[in-house]
Amino acid sequence: MAAVSVPGYPYVAPPVAPPVRPKRRWWLIGIVVGWVLVLVGQAFWSVRNDPPTVPEQRDIARALPVLQRATGAMLAAADGTGRAVVLGELHLVSGCRITPVRDGIEATRAVTVYVQADQAPQVLDAIAAALPRDYRAAVAQSSGGTRVELQADAGGYVAIDADTPADEQVFTLEASTGCRPVDGAEPESPDPAARPQPATLTKVLAVLGASTVQTPAVRTVGCPGGGTAGTYTVDNLAAPADLGGALRPAMTGATVVRSDPRGWAYRLGSDSVVVIEDGGRLQVSTTTACT
């Protein structure tokens, strides 16, 4: 057959089926939204209530009370038989770096400790034992025994440190906040009110011929068990030719901790007295104890 023809019908395309709209799983969307709200709520609560995990989360105003408490604990622990102590003032130093683009401020406060010859390691051990137990204070010596250091954690990212040659008669305990942010104006942390000038200071000034000098500068700190202790300092007094001889009447019954031409340190009762000579002038400090 040359050709075959079959009857046919005009071709008509079938109608396009309507698009199938996916069913919205509203329950799944609800779960996701609810979970997001839970996470946001937890984050908000955590920011407001969780303790800080790095120093940068506690600004300097919140760190200062911790530093002051640590200083009181340091002074109480450092004070003791055969030692003399001097309380330092609070130092606020700006310009430290929290991040490469963010400045901060660091607060420090020190206690200077005078000890008898070759007693620094034993005294640091005693100080570590006297600090609050939760400070976890520890003392370590270098392999050759030539240096000794103390480290303690006062909480709130406030550290206590000391590092001194083992044969030194004067060393410093320092409490530090590390670099902290400042929210608003630079904070103040005033010392507690001072007690009257101690009789030991009046006595040593009298034997030095300086009983009518200016009012002493006073630095105080709260004690762990309540009350206050403080250092009372008078500067720029004329030094006598024989410092030890001039001081002798004031040292009746005292325990001498250090004596040399440049300075004396002794303990009279519970008070510490430190007299330092520099360039023919004297600085006299008396420190009352935490009792």
Res 148 pLDDT > 50? yes
pLDDT at residue 37, rounded to an integer = 65
User: What is the spatial distance between Cα 194 and Cα 211, in angstroms, rounded to a whole number?
Assistant: 20
Q: How confident is the model at residue 206 (pLDDT cuts 50, 70, 90)?
A: very high
Cα distances (angstroms) measured from residue 5 to each of 1, 9, 11, 110, 144: 10, 13, 16, 114, 115
Res 278 pLDDT > 80? yes
More confident residue, 49 or 107: 107
pLDDT at residue 76, rounded to an integer = 97
% of the chain exceeding 70 in pLDDT: 79
Closest CA to 119 of 84, 151, 153: 84
Could you give phi then psi for residue 275, rounded to 5 degrees?
Answer: -120, 120
- Residue 238: in which H helix or E strand, if any? strand 228-238
pTM: 0.79
Q: How confident is the model at residue 50 (pLDDT cuts 50, 70, 90)?
A: very low
CB of 228 within 8 A of CB of 192?
yes
Domain with CATH 3.30.2030.30 in the chain: 58-176
Instruction: Of 102-111, 180-189, 214-223, 237-246, give the lowest mean pLDDT range.
Output: 180-189
No. of helices (H) and no. of strands (E), the chain: 5, 13
For residue 21 the two structure tokens come to: 């709209």
More confident residue, 279 or 101: 279
Mean pLDDT, the chain, rounded, equals 85
Res 97 pLDDT > 80? yes
- Taking only the tens place, the pLDDT of each residue in 151-189 is 999 999 999 999 999 999 999 999 999 999 987 666 777
Tell me what the mean pLDDT of segment 40-59 comes to: 49
Tell me what the mean pLDDT of segment 260-265 comes to: 89
Res 1 pLDDT > 70? no
pLDDT at residue 52, rounded to an integer = 47
For residue 276 the two structure tokens come to: 């330092």
Domain 58-176 has CATH 3.40.30.10: no
Res 43 pLDDT > 50? no
Res 30 pLDDT > 60? yes
CB of 88 within 8 A of CB of 109?
yes
